[in-house]
Structure 1
């Protein structure tokens, strides 16, 4: 009896030792994978760059290991270089804002390793984007592309079929609401059209001229200027006139190409806004030019007198 107990204890000890040796042996050959995402936070639609290194338990680099990279339903594959380093790119990662996990599986001659890390998709979550995310899964696609009769004898399937079709109806409704212009936008557009019509009516009624850049008043103004500054003022007025002409052309081009009134108006204002530094530089150039011309004239006059 005692001998049987000793035999049993010995057998159990041997099995435990064998199990420990086997486990240690398995861990010794398991691949170790270091993984990193180059950008810890991206925007939806950006690429996810995954880098890392594959080594054995002795930290010896594994060359030529196949690396499978998966983030959600997006996958890509890479191979390690002589240093055990790999790099994979998941292009156009279009997902709603949140935290996502990257799983990396490496394999080499029957040995495998697994590692994972996280990254963020930045931005605000809207009801539409949440619904789109739920409906983009393989399970959702399966039930949305099936007929309800396929699940007559499957209560769970019927429930999921109705669930995903209800989400689809919500998505369609949300998209309609999102595309519908707000009351404020409608009001502003209405007011803009009224103002534009009144402006056109006033132009037809009063037929205004070209303003102060030509005509009798312009000529009188120029003729009464101090001769010393007359040329400079004319150049300044022409500079401003050309600015307005270019601004009007920019505005008309934007509207003609389908741009919004607000964009055209902003481009017009940006063009006619002349910084103080620009005007001072323009004045300096003109004064320097006049001085050079004056010096040249004086030199010519002196030469003529000497001759």
Structure 2
């Protein structure tokens, strides 16, 4: 039986919920809503746009577990809330696969301090609250970094504990750095996790840096689906979002590599958007610059025109973009 039937929402633990939520509103166009009930000892705000739901939580009491999470990891994704027809059975399945039960609906699996909560609820929004429109319409995927030697166990837990399937795997080399990656996905495609593990035989890179700064495994980036990536880049840039850049040589080689693309090469070049193609169609992607004090969590925009995978060339180009950003800030 498939356990996971969708991603209900993502909960972020942060130092100041209202300040963080205001940033999502101002820079990314999220609508902010007060929850119907606030968890005791916390301040909480719902940020929503299209089908994306985020619950932003901070602690009122410095001894609250949320405050402890933030001290260890900084602001970040703390809980994935997964839809399930039978949350109790989902917890039982996850525990049988090695998870630790935190409460009747929540477990810690093989993903560090990232908790998994199961719910039968359809929506986080209070009754009668309308969905908000904006440049982002869904959460395409989440990328998680895991320590060396733990990618295999994480994939096994996703498969056996959550009912996800491994749909993609690749070893990626960039200069003297390298990483292993695997993508696990629910059968209906509504939940997609990209898992990244550093190759410690090679020089340290961004995955190693994330694991050190975050304090172990965790969510490196959230990827939002857009219906027009170039329009979204323009709108969000006007709101103050800074996107990572791509060298002109990448676009100079595009025509020879892919031929004509759905978005003209010069438009992609102007917005620093990457493109790749699989058997289903084309995939367009771009990363934002991280504004996190620890330079861990950042965001991605994705537009899919039929593509169901991630594209080998895009993965490498995105990795290189982050490395250029790291080198620039460290230099």
Same fold (TM over 0.5): no
TM-score by length of structure 2 reads 0.17
Larger Rg: 1
Answer 1 or 2: which has greater helix percent. Answer: 1
Taking CA–CA contacts closer than 8 Å with sequence separation of 6 or more, which of the two structures ends up with the larger relative contact order?
2
TM-score by length of structure 1 reads 0.18
Answer 1 or 2: which has greater strand percent. Answer: 2
